[in-house]
């Protein structure tokens, strides 16, 4: 039941803050454990994770704001600014990448599955994202999943001197929960899960 409760507890938290009671080291440890124990195709472990705290977290959202300012019309920028500032209000951000060198290596090594490795890498990356999201939630932290990938990837890799072969797949700002999201609607499970009993 503990696992089910952890799954249920995970939500998209947009109202987050910096009044986090657990240490950066503890958060890092939780992220590492979640990454380590998430499966990947052929045990390829191609997901790469960067955790940004403090001024690094601020810098990420400043970069995102600068990039958006160049592509969003000034008269429409206010809601964008509010949104980016809501992520920046958090305590840190987890960045998710896929190491294309690992994935390309597998394509070359196992040509039979060549077309699948890119898909599997994305699927495994999504699983890592979910593991981290649930694990942060279990520690009482709120997080959401963002995708400013193409817009910020080059600047992010330059800022933190990351491998050029890493492909950015998501950003997860997190922090203490200031207010909880409203209830969400669930589809009827009869329309989603089909069971054939003996």
Ligand X SMILES: Cc1cc2nc3c(=O)[nH]c(=O)nc-3n(C[C@H](O)[C@H](O)[C@H](O)COP(=O)(O)O)c2cc1C
Residues 144-183, interacting with ligand X (CB under 6 A)? 144-147, 181
Does 12 help bind ligand X (rule: CB under 6 A)?
yes
Choose the binding region for ligand X from 40-48, 51-59, 110-118, 138-146 (rule: CB under 6 A): 138-146
* Integer CA distances (angstroms), 45 to 98, 131, 170, in order: 9, 14, 17
Does 184 help bind ligand X (rule: CB under 6 A)?
yes
Q: Residue 112 Cβ, how far from ligand X at the closest point, in Å?
A: 28
| Cβ-based neighbours of 103, under 8 Å, separated by 6 or more | 44, 46, 117, 118, 121
Beta bridge partners of 172: 94
Q: Residue 59 Cβ, how far from ligand X at the closest point, in Å?
A: 20
Q: Residue 170 Cβ, how far from ligand X at the closest point, in Å?
A: 7
Between CA 22 and CA 107 the distance in angstroms is 41
Does 86 help bind ligand X (rule: CB under 6 A)?
no
Q: Residue 90 Cβ, how far from ligand X at the closest point, in Å?
A: 13
How many amino acids of this chain bind ligand X (CB under 6 A)? Answer: 8
- Residue 163's Cα: distance from chain center in Å? 18
Backbone φ and ψ of 145, nearest 5°:
-115, 125
Between CA 92 and CA 6 the distance in angstroms is 21
Q: Which residues bind ligand X (CB under 6 A)?
A: 11-12, 144-147, 181, 184
């Amino acid at each position: 039941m503990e696992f089910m409760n952890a799954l249920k507890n995970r939500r998209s938290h947009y109202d987050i803050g910096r009044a986090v009671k657990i240490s950066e080291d503890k958060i890092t440890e939780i992220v590492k454990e979640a990454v380590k124990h998430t499966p990947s195709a052929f045990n390829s472990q191609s997901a790469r994770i960067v955790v940004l705290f403090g001024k690094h977290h601020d810098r990420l959202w400043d970069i995102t704001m600068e990039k958006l300012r160049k592509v969003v019309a000034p008269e429409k920028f206010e809601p964008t600014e509010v949104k980016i500032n809501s992520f920046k209000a958090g305590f840190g951000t987890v960045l998710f990448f896929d190491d294309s060198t690992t994935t390309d290596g597998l394509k070359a090594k196992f040509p039979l599955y060549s077309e699948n490795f890119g898909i599997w890498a994305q699927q495994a990356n999504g699983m890592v994202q979910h593991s981290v999201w649930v694990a942060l939630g279990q520690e009482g932290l709120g997080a959401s999943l963002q995708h400013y990938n193409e817009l910020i990837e080059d600047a992010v890799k330059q800022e933190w001197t990351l491998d050029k072969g890493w492909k950015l797949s998501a950003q997860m700002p997190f922090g203490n929960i200031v207010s909880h999201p409203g209830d969400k609607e669930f589809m009827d499970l009869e329309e989603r899960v089909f069971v054939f009993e003996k």
